[in-house]
Structure 1
């Protein structure tokens, strides 16, 4: 991988920043989890877990089908936690703890450009059925299976918003400006079914109580545009 100020060469192809996703579909679930164990899970990043309620943190599970974007089409699953952005008294960010994908190009790009913890996995998903479903299998081991029931359609089109995503790879934590513009959003309390397997990440989620917790919410987005800008190092 070679780099200039605004471009990266991945597998012989030039990727210019910012990277744009023109069409993606997403389903996600949010869970309240104990803040102490959640801090232990992300402690390697040097970031501080957010506590929107006393003693509670927020863990998010999301699966994404990228249909049109600068890194090509692929499937992705994310385990993320709400964190306090370092150096700021207010605001929230999303720390990406685990990010399996099913294509080699986006795996190398994600790790090289932003330090996202991408790894190769089999990620079958259905984002068009009555129930949105996804499974993640790594090396023949099932990490998890999740199903989300779409809720009530939110009126109008949400305005684009930018927030900080954080990654940590090889001991380096980075901040990534991430802009999202969703359309066709459905949301509801609960409505999430989760089955955990025998992968190490499943053991972490089980330790946070996700195998018995009721989701705070389930959200489905029919069409999502995203922009990922250059990463900056916040800890090494």
Structure 2
């Protein structure tokens, strides 16, 4: 059984998420702009059609999690290892609002977590997230909330760099009270200032087409140990 010492606490793998709310806003963006945000050359952006790629803005409110309760915002692209292999996700930015999960995420999986201010406001039909980086308003986004569907736990792959070396993390995610909304109905994104806002603008946001949004009110997940690519 693998474990890590994080800030004086022992984290035993796999990490379990027992309760969280999660939203994904999937945009279609220019593939070259997406490629420019990937570090190094270990991964290639997956094009959904020539010259086009998908960018997912992921919002998670972790309520019961081995790494604590916290908010998280992910900038996520779909990639394939340059050496070959299955498609997966690669996170280029991962702001959180708690120190412990920041250290754990960077140490265990090589995820690019930073500690930032994240304000969340929910209504029965929407969830609004505002991110502030170094005191600057980076963006505010509103996304649809709600649903009655069940989402079975599905195995997925996340890629990252640990010490500059490519790694693969297998995780499963599912839950209940879910929905999928096709198109951009209910999505409103306002950009602020700073490098993070400029990255989104460079991808064509807020005007880039929204492919779909998802919401899971009661999300569960399991994250395994990161394994080096061979």
CA distance in 2, matches of 1:97, 1:27: 17
Residue from 106, 114, 136 that aligns with 1:111: 106
CA distance in 2, matches of 1:113, 1:22: 19
Task: Tell me the CA shift for residue 44 of structure 1.
Answer: 2.4
Deviates more, 1:78-87 or 1:113-122: 78-87
Task: Tell me the CA shift for residue 219 of structure 1.
Answer: 1.2
Contact 1:117 1:169 in 2 (8 A): no
Q: Are residues 1:231 and 2:189 paired?
A: no
Q: Are residues 1:59 and 2:55 paired?
A: yes
Partner of 2:142: 147
Deviates more, 1:77-86 or 1:25-34: 77-86
SS at match of 1:180: strand
SS at match of 2:26: strand
* Cα offsets for 1:125-156 (capped at 9, x unmatched): 134542211011011011111101247x364x
Task: Tell me the CA shift for residue 158 of structure 1.
Answer: 2.1
SS at match of 2:36: helix
Partner of 2:207: 212
Partner of 1:196: 191
Task: Tell me the CA shift for residue 172 of structure 1.
Answer: 3.1
Residue from 64, 80, 83 that aligns with 2:79: 83
SS at match of 1:225: strand
Partner of 2:177: 184
Partner of 1:122: 117
Q: What is the aligned residue count?
A: 228
CA distance in 2, matches of 1:127, 1:47: 36
SS at match of 2:38: helix
Distance 1:177 1:128, change over 3 A: farther
Residue from 175, 180, 187 that aligns with 2:168: 175
Unmatched 5+ stretches in structure 1:
none
SS at match of 2:105: helix
Unmatched 5+ stretches in structure 2:
none
* Cα offsets for 1:147-182 (capped at 9, x unmatched): 01247x364x22211111112355333211111012
Contact 1:133 1:145 in 2 (8 A): yes
Query: Larger strand proportion, structure 1 or 2?
Result: 2
